[in-house]
Amino acid sequence: MKVKMISRNPDNYVRETKLQQHKIPRNYDPALHPMEGPREYVRALNATKLDRVFAKPFLCNLSGHRDGVACFGKHPKLLSTLATGAYDGEVRIWDLANRTSQRSFVAHDGFVRGIAYARNGERLFTVGDDKTIKVWRTEAPDVGEEEEPVNTILSRHILHGISHNRKDNSFATCGEVCAIWDEQHNDPIKTLKWGVDTLHTISYNPVETNVLACCASDRSIILYDQREALPLRKVVLTMKSNKLAWNPMEAFNFTVANEDCNLYSFDTRKLQSPLKVHFDHVSAVTDVDYAPTGKEFVSGSYDKTVRLYNAHLSHSRDIYHTKRMQHVVCVAWSLDNRYIFSGSDEMNVRMWKANASEKLGVIRPRERTNFNYQEALKEKYAAHPQIKRIARHRQVPRHVMNAQRKMRAVKEKELVKEANIRKHSKKGKVPFVSEKKKHVIREDV
C-alpha cells in the first residue's frame, strides 16, 4: 500500500530565531475564507468610521500679519514658499516647512490687491491700491540692506488684480481696464476694455496661455485673448462673481466664486449654461482655487468656512472651519496637492490638509497597502446606507446650520409658489427652468 499523510515540517512554518519574521503561509482559496461579503462590509464600515475619527484637517496657524489677509501668491517652483498680502499693504513670504515668516515688507499704501510670481519664480509682482505695480526679488536682501522693489510701475488706472502668464514674460492686470504688460517695459502692451465697469479679478489660462478671463462688477465674466484687439466673449450672471480659477488639467473649464453663495463651473465653449452649479455655502463665496490634479477645488466664503468640492459634483465633499476663523478672503491649494491655505479677516493664514484624515509623515509600504485597501473598500461599499451616513456627516457651526435651514425654507417656499402659479395658469406658460439656467442672464459676443 502507498500512503501519504499531511506531515508538516516545523522548520518550514516556525521561525528559527527571534530576529526573523514569523512565517505567514497564505492560501487564497475562497473556501478557506468564508463570508467574504459580510466581513468586507464590516471592514468597510470600520474604515469609514476611522476616516472620521482621524479627520483632523487643521495643521497650523501662520500669524504675523497686522491686518486682514487679502491675497495669496503661490511660488511656481518652491513648495514651501507662499507669499501673502494684507490690507495694510504688507507682504509676507512664509517658509511653510518651518511654519515661520521668512521675510516681510510694506509694499503698498493701502490694500495689496494681488500677488503673482514670474514663471521662473525669480521675481514677485504686487499690485496695490496706490495704483502701482511693484516688482520684487524673490531672494531676501542682505543683512543691513533695505527692502527695495526692483521696479515700480505707475499705472494710469486703478489696479485690482494681477496674473502672470505661465509660458512667457507677460503679465496682466485688471482694474478699470484689462492691461497686458511685458516684464521689460513700463507701459502696457495692450489695454482691453468692454463697458465701463471695474474688473476685480483676472486669471491667465494655464495651458492656452493667450486666453485670460476677468470678472467684472456688472456681474459678468469676460474672456480675452491677449493677441486680439478686442475682448472675446462675455457672460452675465444674476450676481457678481468674486473670483475665477481655471481648471489646470481641463483648461477649457473654469470655476467662478459667486456672490449668491454658489460656485459655477463653465465650459468656455458653451457659456449659455454652466456645467455644474456647486451649492452648500451659505454666504458669498470669496475665493476659489483648483487642485493641481484638476479634480477638486477649494472655496472660501464669507460664512467663515472653507469647503472642498469634487469638480464634477454639485455638493461639497468636506467643510473646514474653526471657532476663531472669520470671513475667509482667500484660499489656495498647494501645488503638491496635499495642503490648503486659507487667509481670513482676522489676520491669520491657516494651513489645512487637503485630505482631512490623511496621515502625514513617512508611510511604510505595509501601511500604504492597508490605506489603499481601505480606500477600495470604502468605495465598494459607499452606497450602503450605514456607511453613506457616516461618511457624509459633518459637524457645522451653528450659524451655518441655521443659515442652511433658512435657505432650505426659502427654496421650498419658492418651489411651492412656482408650483401654485403653474397650477393656476395656462399649460406651458410657466416653464420648468433647470437650476443651471436660472443663474445665467445672457451671453454677449
Residues in touch with another protein (CB under 8 A): 1-8, 10, 12-14, 22-43, 46, 384
HEC profile of 281-347: CCCCEEEEEECCCCCEEEEEECCCCEEEEECCCCCEEEEECCCCCCCEEEEEECCCCCEEEEEECCC
Which CB, 29 or 146, lies closer to another protein? 29
- Smallest gap from Cβ 257 to another protein, in A, equals 27
Cell of 160: 485690482
Which CB, 32 or 154, lies closer to another protein? 32
Which CB, 100 or 369, lies closer to another protein? 369
Which CB, 14 or 410, lies closer to another protein? 14
Which CB, 8 or 366, lies closer to another protein? 8
In angstroms, the CA 108 to CA 90 distance is 7
Which CB, 2 or 393, lies closer to another protein? 2
Cell of 426: 395656462
Contact 290, 26 (CB under 8 A): no
- Smallest gap from Cβ 157 to another protein, in A, equals 39
Tell me the pairing of strands 199-204 and 211-216: antiparallel
- Smallest gap from Cβ 73 to another protein, in A, equals 29
- Smallest gap from Cβ 29 to another protein, in A, equals 7
Cell of 8: 508538516
Contact 243, 214 (CB under 8 A): no
In angstroms, the CA 45 to CA 42 distance is 5
Cell of 171: 503679465
- Smallest gap from Cβ 383 to another protein, in A, equals 9
- Smallest gap from Cβ 13 to another protein, in A, equals 5
Q: Grid cell 461639497 — which residue?
A: 316
Q: At how many degrees (to 10) do helices 365-380 and 36-53 cross?
A: 110
Q: Which amino acid is at 271?
A: L
In angstroms, the CA 144 to CA 163 distance is 32
Decide: residue 442, CB within 10 A, 0-12 exposed, 13-18 middle, 19+ buried: exposed
- Smallest gap from Cβ 65 to another protein, in A, equals 42
Which CB, 12 or 184, lies closer to another protein? 12
- Smallest gap from Cβ 53 to another protein, in A, equals 13
Give residues with Cβ within 8 angstroms of 325, minimum separation 6: 304, 305, 342, 344, 346, 348, 350
In angstroms, the CA 247 to CA 149 distance is 32
Which long-range contacts link 222-225 to residues 24+ away (Cβ below 8 Å)? 222/178, 222/194, 223/268, 224/178, 224/192
Which CB, 25 or 365, lies closer to another protein? 25
Which CB, 37 or 428, lies closer to another protein? 37
In angstroms, the CA 300 to CA 283 distance is 10
- Smallest gap from Cβ 279 to another protein, in A, equals 22
Which CB, 47 or 116, lies closer to another protein? 47
In angstroms, the CA 181 to CA 62 distance is 33
- Smallest gap from Cβ 415 to another protein, in A, equals 17
